[in-house]
Chains A and B, each alone.
Chain A
């Protein structure tokens, strides 16, 4: 049987030279993403903004959005958003957080249930009060920070500080671009998005660590090889693995994206962007070449020596 060979053996692409293009592009994209975040903003979901979210299924085959809108507007609950969700009979109702604290949210949900009555099936009802939403947001941000910090410490311990720093720059770059993507597409930003961001972080690092592992190995073996050549070698040698792994992950993610349904759609979309588009690019074009600037393993520092020599 002839086996599928996506990447030929012994590729010799000059990835390092590409840094003169990839660094400015990444910097530009990052600035764009930050700009998007500040001027376009994220579409905060109910977890972080509080309020009411209901997924209802009309008992008629097609939901009458106009009628529903009129019924709900009459309740005077402020901004009411209706959106078709999944099928023609499914409607997502979003109502902004009510003034008057936690109890007011409960009053509102009773009103909505009363107004819609038995004309719909309640598939999902979520009510998040102001205190919980602000806590969830701070938990999310703290969690993201904590994860980056923990991974940094681990890499510092396992490699050298230059690698840890390089991985962190690559990491932050991933997160920034993904947040930019979320702002651009206005995907709901909720707890699941934080989960997606953390997974992207994990995956991208996974990739970076594989390449760094190879760089470290080569640094020990080829002490005289010029840095750019060495980094190129490491990336080229792991290229086949990078590509094959990403094809499999992409296949798994596409399955989630296409067959996973609405409930998981934004999660899968974010992951696809972060892992497939950004993660791989970052490991090859940012994480590896940045080591040139961070001064790794030149002139007999600790790294070029075998591990057993340490501490002598």
Chain B
């Protein structure tokens, strides 16, 4: 156990040294490190609990996705039956399906064939599931039921999450913050982490809005009072203004142009009134539609509707042919700015709900770093002194091994670009405890072997070989606990699991190599007549 070939010793020293060196970038300021070669730039990332910032977990509203899908299916059915000239008496959404009652039985076969064409296989190109998006069944009384499968909803939710991530990225980048992290979590969730953000109110406003913008006509054929009494015509709906006092408007459901056809939106000021406005430009198709609609409706009011609220309802004074325009409607500079960000980024496919929010201010983060480091230093000093008092020169060896161990932990963490959290620092402190234990196990074993009457070198050799098996066994059990923690934990707890897990690996490594090498070198140099522990 005490004999090392020259190359083996060199390999051990080199490995430990290289791993330790990876920790070096953490001691230099960010700007200095950025000028280094790419491979040398890896460094620790401070967790949000240490550097401050906002963590927001969003969930796609599955019910809204389901409702959208059902309504789209209902509209499809209406279109298909109209095209096929099939008469029907009722068309409703009920539960998870769309139900349509045909006028006479004769048309049933035609209707079924046409409606079955609406169902598409799920799973895209891979198509592994063989499931269809719709399940078309007939029931007595000329009733056809189209059930939207759960798999189709799930697929839609998945797509929504993907689209939403892109849109959120565009929205958050407009905030000009450093390195926001936006990633999918589970099937229907999105995690947004913005380091350094102190007040997430504005971020939440940007994330919480669907930003579905429509240009629609105001229904002037029916008085608003009638709609307020609940007798709105089926092709129109009652919407309210976005600003107080909430004014009711009767707006046609038909959309002239939607926000999806905008190419640009910018905040600005009205030249006459100098109040904040948002100016926008349509793409070619949108510009054509908008020009046609405004030509046909000169003198009539139309409405700009954002997330089912009327922002403004101006009267069309003249046809707007240039494909650009402006929205004014009691904006502040901030809200005009936010709206143009939202319009540029695009509408979310489904509403997002904030289900978790954690924000740490910079003051607390700095405090945590200071206290974490302080306790780490104090812990280290106490342990070093105790080990030296207990084992003398061997205690010194142990302390060197533990120092190498801690440096290696930071090296590996940097190499992985891992996140260091406050519990992570606690993990390092506890690793010091575990690392010391491996040395204690070895030394106690050596003491026993000496008492059993072995010669010093024999005792040291036997002490190592017997203790190492135990060290392996005991560390694997702790490692299992760390692995489980990593698997179930989020954020700070995961940070703890990472440092603990890495700490166990480096502990086993140093016990098997570094400590052994130090002791072996000492033995060769001093040729001890007795073991000084």
Q: How far is the CA of A142 from the CA of B485 in the complex (A)?
A: 11
Tell yes or no: B430 within 8 A of A by CB: yes
Give, as a whole number of angstroms, the nearest-CB distance from B329 to chain A.
23
Chain A residue at minimal CB-CB distance from B362: A123
Tell yes or no: B461 within 8 A of A by CB: no
Chain B residue at minimal CB-CB distance from A259: B375
Q: How far is the CA of A309 from the CA of B149 in the complex (A)?
A: 59
Q: Which residues on A sit within 8 Å (CB–CB) of B57?
A: 132
Q: How far is the CA of A253 from the CA of B487 in the complex (A)?
A: 25
Q: How far is the CA of A5 from the CA of B392 in the complex (A)?
A: 11
**Which among A244, A247, A261 is the interface contact of B368 at CB below 8 angstroms?**
A261
Tell yes or no: A21 within 8 A of B by CB: no
**Which among B376, B383, B481, B532 is the interface contact of A199 at CB below 8 angstroms?**
B481
Tell yes or no: A84 within 8 A of B by CB: no
Contacts A192-B493, A244-B390 given; does A102 touch B372 at CB 8 Å: no
Q: Which residues on A sit within 8 Å (CB–CB) of B391?
A: 3
* Contact between B493 and A191, CB atoms less than 8 A apart: yes
Tell yes or no: A73 within 8 A of B by CB: no
A106-149 residues with Cβ-Cβ distance < 8 A to B are 106, 109-110, 113, 121-129, 131-132, 136, 139-140, 142-143, 146-147
* Contact between A154 and B480, CB atoms less than 8 A apart: yes
- Scoring A residues 237 to 261 as 1 if CB is less than 8 Å from chain B, else 0, what string do you get? 1101100110111011111101111
- Scoring B residues 294 to 318 as 1 if CB is less than 8 Å from chain A, else 0, what string do you get? 0000000000000000000000000
Q: How far is the CA of A251 from the CA of B485 in the complex (A)?
A: 24
Q: Which residues on A sit within 8 Å (CB–CB) of B198?
A: 122
Tell yes or no: A269 within 8 A of B by CB: no
Q: Which residues on B sit within 8 Å (CB–CB) of A150?
A: 480, 483-484
Q: How far is the CA of A121 from the CA of B360 in the complex (A)?
A: 11
Give, as a whole number of angstroms, the nearest-CB distance from B54 to chain A.
9
Tell yes or no: A103 within 8 A of B by CB: yes
Contacts A248-B436, A251-B383, A261-B367 given; does A125 touch B390 at CB 8 Å: no
* Contact between B429 and A124, CB atoms less than 8 A apart: no
Chain A residue at minimal CB-CB distance from B360: A124
* Contact between A147 and B354, CB atoms less than 8 A apart: no
Tell yes or no: B117 within 8 A of A by CB: no
Tell yes or no: B122 within 8 A of A by CB: no
* Contact between B355 and A248, CB atoms less than 8 A apart: no
**Which among A4, A113, A151, A213 is the interface contact of B481 at CB below 8 angstroms?**
A151
Contacts A210-B474, A248-B387, A248-B437 given; does A102 touch B358 at CB 8 Å: no
Q: Which residues on A sit within 8 Å (CB–CB) of B532?
A: 3
Q: How far is the CA of A264 from the CA of B50 in the complex (A)?
A: 13
Give, as a whole number of angstroms, the nearest-CB distance from B306 to chain A.
19
Q: Which residues on A sit within 8 Å (CB–CB) of B368?
A: 261, 263
One of A27-35, A181-189, A201-209, A292-300 contacting the partner? A201-209
Contacts A124-B359, A255-B378, A264-B423 given; does A1 touch B392 at CB 8 Å: yes
* Contact between B371 and A261, CB atoms less than 8 A apart: yes
* Contact between A131 and B357, CB atoms less than 8 A apart: no
Tell yes or no: B477 within 8 A of A by CB: yes
**Which among B383, B426, B473 is the interface contact of A267 at CB below 8 angstroms?**
B426
Q: Which residues on A sit within 8 Å (CB–CB) of B358?
A: 124-127
Q: Which of the listed residues A106, A205, A259 has the most CB atoms from chain B within 10 Å of its own CB?
A: A259
- Scoring A residues 192 to 227 as 1 if CB is less than 8 Å from chain B, else 0, what string do you get? 101100110111011101100110010000000000
Give, as a whole number of angstroms, the nearest-CB distance from A109 to chain B.
7
Give, as a whole number of angstroms, the nearest-CB distance from A90 to chain B.
9
B357-405 residues with Cβ-Cβ distance < 8 A to A are 357-361, 363-364, 367-368, 371-372, 374-376, 378-379, 382-383, 386-387, 389-392
One of B19-27, B249-257, B443-451 contacting the partner? B443-451
Give, as a whole number of angstroms, the nearest-CB distance from B284 to chain A.
39
Q: Which residues on B sit within 8 Å (CB–CB) of A124?
A: 358-361, 364
Q: Which residues on B sit within 8 Å (CB–CB) of A158?
A: 473
CB-based A-B contact count at 8 angstroms: 239
Prevailing SS type, chain B contact patch: helix
Q: Which of the listed residues B198, B208, B382 has the most CB atoms from chain A within 10 Å of its own CB?
A: B382
* Contact between A268 and B426, CB atoms less than 8 A apart: yes
Chain A residue at minimal CB-CB distance from B387: A248
* Contact between A151 and B354, CB atoms less than 8 A apart: no
Q: How far is the CA of A255 from the CA of B376 in the complex (A)?
A: 7
Q: Which residues on A sit within 8 Å (CB–CB) of B437?
A: 206, 241, 245, 248-249
Tell yes or no: A91 within 8 A of B by CB: no
Give, as a whole number of angstroms, the nearest-CB distance from B411 to chain A.
21
Chain A residue at minimal CB-CB distance from B476: A154
Q: Which of the listed residues B57, B426, B477 has the most CB atoms from chain A within 10 Å of its own CB?
A: B477
Give, as a whole number of angstroms, the nearest-CB distance from B462 to chain A.
12
Q: Which residues on A sit within 8 Å (CB–CB) of B500?
A: 199, 202
Q: How far is the CA of A238 from the CA of B476 in the complex (A)?
A: 19
Q: Which residues on A sit within 8 Å (CB–CB) of B353?
A: 101-103, 129
Give, as a whole number of angstroms, the nearest-CB distance from A158 to chain B.
6
B476-516 residues with Cβ-Cβ distance < 8 A to A are 476-478, 480-485, 487-490, 492-493, 496-497, 500
Q: Which residues on A sit within 8 Å (CB–CB) of B480?
A: 147, 150-151, 154, 202
**Which among B360, B363, B389, B392 is the interface contact of A57 at CB below 8 angstroms?**
B363
Give, as a whole number of angstroms, the nearest-CB distance from B62 to chain A.
12
Q: How far is the CA of A57 from the CA of B474 in the complex (A)?
A: 44
Q: Which residues on B sit within 8 Å (CB–CB) of A143?
A: 484-485, 487-489
Give, as a whole number of angstroms, the nearest-CB distance from B98 to chain A.
27
Give, as a whole number of angstroms, the nearest-CB distance from B185 to chain A.
11
Tell yes or no: A55 within 8 A of B by CB: yes
* Contact between B422 and A263, CB atoms less than 8 A apart: yes
Tell yes or no: A9 within 8 A of B by CB: yes
* Contact between A106 and B354, CB atoms less than 8 A apart: yes
Tell yes or no: A286 within 8 A of B by CB: no
For the complex with contacts A110-B201, A129-B356, 8 further pairs of A-B residues with Cβ separation under 8 Å are A3-B532, A146-B488, A158-B473, A209-B477, A248-B383, A252-B383, A256-B429, A264-B426
Residues of A within 8 A of B (CB): 1, 3-6, 9-10, 55, 57, 101-103, 105-106, 109-110, 113, 121-129, 131-132, 136, 139-140, 142-143, 146-147, 150-151, 154-155, 158, 191-192, 194-195, 198-199, 201-203, 205-207, 209-210, 213-214, 217, 237-238, 240-241, 244-245, 247-249, 251-256, 258-261, 263-264, 267-268, 271
- Mind listing 14 A-B residue pairs with CB under 8 Å? A55-B364, A106-B354, A106-B357, A122-B359, A123-B364, A132-B356, A146-B484, A151-B480, A154-B476, A158-B473, A210-B470, A249-B436, A252-B379, A253-B430
Residues of B within 8 A of A (CB): 49, 57, 59, 198-201, 204, 208, 353-361, 363-364, 367-368, 371-372, 374-376, 378-379, 382-383, 386-387, 389-392, 422-423, 426, 429-430, 432-434, 436-437, 440-441, 444, 447-448, 451, 466, 469-470, 473-478, 480-485, 487-490, 492-493, 496-497, 500, 532-533
